[in-house]
Amino acid sequence: MTIDEAPRDVLRGGPRELLRWVATGAAVSRADLSRLSGLSPSTVSQRVEALISQGLLEETGAGRSRGGRRPRQLAVPTGGAVVGAIDLGAHHARVGTLDLSGRVVQARTLPVRIEDGPEAVLGALLAEVTTLVDGDPAASADGSAADALRGIGIGIPGPVQHSTGRIVSPSRMPGWNGFDVAAFCAGRVDVPVIVDNDANLMALGAHRTAHSELDHAVYIKAGTGIGSGVISSGRLHRGAQGSAGDISHCRVVADPAPPCTCGNAGCLEAVASGAALVTALRGQGVQVSDLTGVIRLIDDGDRQATALARQAGRAVGEILAVVVNFFNPQVVAIGGRLADCEPLLASMRATLYERCLPLATQTLLIERVAAGQDVGITGAAHLVIDHVVAAA
Ligand SMILES: [Zn+2]
């Protein structure tokens, strides 16, 4: 599904921005919105009325008066409307419902066998969203629970063609290549479904939760796979097809260059992803079954695991240095399960400073994504909320 997105300056005072100001508490009245947007009170009133009639804003009694009639206060409804969100990973999925301000209402983590294929996996996760909505008393307060659901956002751990919602050549997702996620979901739920890759959703969720005031940001997702999402001029930057930020098959210096799932050798994913660390450790005769085991070894100070984590951090730093020199972001943040791996983070940071222009790193923030395990579903919800507001 294509989302009509305009540059941030064009959106100034647009319905999405008005809603966001109320959701974040920056504005509680029409007067606040008029002041923040620079729009006339009558234009603001018109847009607010439209948002209220769509159930996206509500009035909650009277605020403080500065003489004359007390202004009515605005709020994002906390009951009666929710969006569903699914953040699919290699072994687990986070599924949740969120209100129209992007706050998590309910969320749970489910085990997933990605090799069961898209119909089985997505069918079960959509059913879980329905169960959450049906069980939410706030969602069903003003009518049937089904009416409360405004849309579903889904994050996929692989490349997604943005215009169609189709998955294109994913690694480690047998049976998913070419699958039309949006069409499959449209046959099962009667609300808009928006599909994107997991790194983009992490970027959007992290940006809206922290640093939404910064216009240019790069978010690295380092878990079983490795990818990134780019915020440019305050918006998620997808590029022409939706593959912007996909750094997984960029080549890095590695000797020997390990083979990659894409058929090339020495890709970032083959050197620095969680899956790569598991493979490399096993190749050295270490008994380790998954990323959790690798992280445990690193935390215990295991020499081989720590050396591999440092090598991974240098590889991420090498690619990130090119990105930072080229794109000049204000913040680079790393999330995913490897973000807590200190040796990886330290060598990534050192490589970045070594390889970047001083002007690019002078004020650059390098940090961990702080939004926790719900960052992906938060990003998914914001995709849907933006779409709902734009449609309204
Ligand atoms: Zn590759």
Please report, in tens digits, the pLDDT of each residue of the chain (392 residues total).
434 444 444 456 788 788 888 887 888 999 999 999 899 999 999 999 988 888 888 888 766 656 666 668 998 877 678 999 999 998 899 999 998 888 899 999 999 999 999 999 999 999 999 999 988 766 655 556 667 899 999 999 999 998 888 999 998 899 999 999 999 998 899 999 999 999 999 999 999 998 888 999 999 999 999 999 999 999 999 999 999 999 999 999 888 899 999 999 999 999 999 999 999 999 999 999 999 999 999 999 999 999 999 999 999 999 999 999 999 999 999 999 999 999 999 999 999 999 999 999 999 999 999 888 999 999 999 999 988 888 77
In the numeric block, the tokens 């997808």 are attached to 238
Q: How far apart are CA 69 and CA 65, in angstroms?
A: 7
In the numeric block, the tokens 């791996």 are attached to 341
Q: How remote is the CA of residue 248 from the centroid of ligand 1, in Å?
A: 7
- Alpha-carbon distance values, 379 to 5, 54, 85, 376, 386 (Å): 16, 22, 9, 5, 11
Q: How remote is the CA of residue 114 from the centroid of ligand 1, in Å?
A: 20
Q: How remote is the CA of residue 209 from the centroid of ligand 1, in Å?
A: 32
Q: How remote is the CA of residue 274 from the centroid of ligand 1, in Å?
A: 14
Q: How remote is the CA of residue 176 from the centroid of ligand 1, in Å?
A: 17
pLDDT given for residue 83 in this prediction: 94
Q: Which residues surround ligand 1, an ion (CB under 5 A)?
A: 249, 260, 262, 264, 267
Q: How remote is the CA of residue 132 from the centroid of ligand 1, in Å?
A: 38
Q: How remote is the CA of residue 258 from the centroid of ligand 1, in Å?
A: 10
Q: One-letter amino acid identity for 377?
A: I
Distance of CA 325 to the CA centre of its chain: 23
Q: How remote is the CA of residue 201 from the centroid of ligand 1, in Å?
A: 22
Q: How remote is the CA of residue 17 from the centroid of ligand 1, in Å?
A: 39
pLDDT given for residue 140 in this prediction: 58
Q: How remote is the CA of residue 245 from the centroid of ligand 1, in Å?
A: 15
Q: Is 190 exposed, middle or buried (0-12, 13-18, 19+ CB in 10 A)?
A: exposed
Q: How remote is the CA of residue 34 from the centroid of ligand 1, in Å?
A: 50
Q: How remote is the CA of residue 200 from the centroid of ligand 1, in Å?
A: 19
Q: Residue 165 gets which letter from DSSP?
A: T
Q: How remote is the CA of residue 64 from the centroid of ligand 1, in Å?
A: 59
Q: How remote is the CA of residue 307 from the centroid of ligand 1, in Å?
A: 22
- CB under 8 Å to 295, separation ≥6 — which residues? 337, 338, 340, 341
3-state helix, strand, coil in the chain (%, to 5): 45, 20, 40
Q: How remote is the CA of residue 341 from the centroid of ligand 1, in Å?
A: 23
Could you report the per-residue pLDDT of 125-145, keeping only the tens digit for each? 999 999 999 887 666 555 566
Q: How remote is the CA of residue 250 from the centroid of ligand 1, in Å?
A: 7
Q: How remote is the CA of residue 328 from the centroid of ligand 1, in Å?
A: 25
Q: How remote is the CA of residue 247 from the centroid of ligand 1, in Å?
A: 10
Q: How remote is the CA of residue 264 from the centroid of ligand 1, in Å?
A: 5
Q: How remote is the CA of residue 89 from the centroid of ligand 1, in Å?
A: 19
Q: How remote is the CA of residue 361 from the centroid of ligand 1, in Å?
A: 28
Q: How remote is the CA of residue 178 from the centroid of ligand 1, in Å?
A: 18
Q: How crowded is residue 113: how many other Cβ atoms within 10 Å of its Cβ?
A: 10
Q: How remote is the CA of residue 251 from the centroid of ligand 1, in Å?
A: 8
Of 316, 329, 299, 311, nearest to 207 by C-alpha is: 329
Q: How remote is the CA of residue 262 from the centroid of ligand 1, in Å?
A: 4
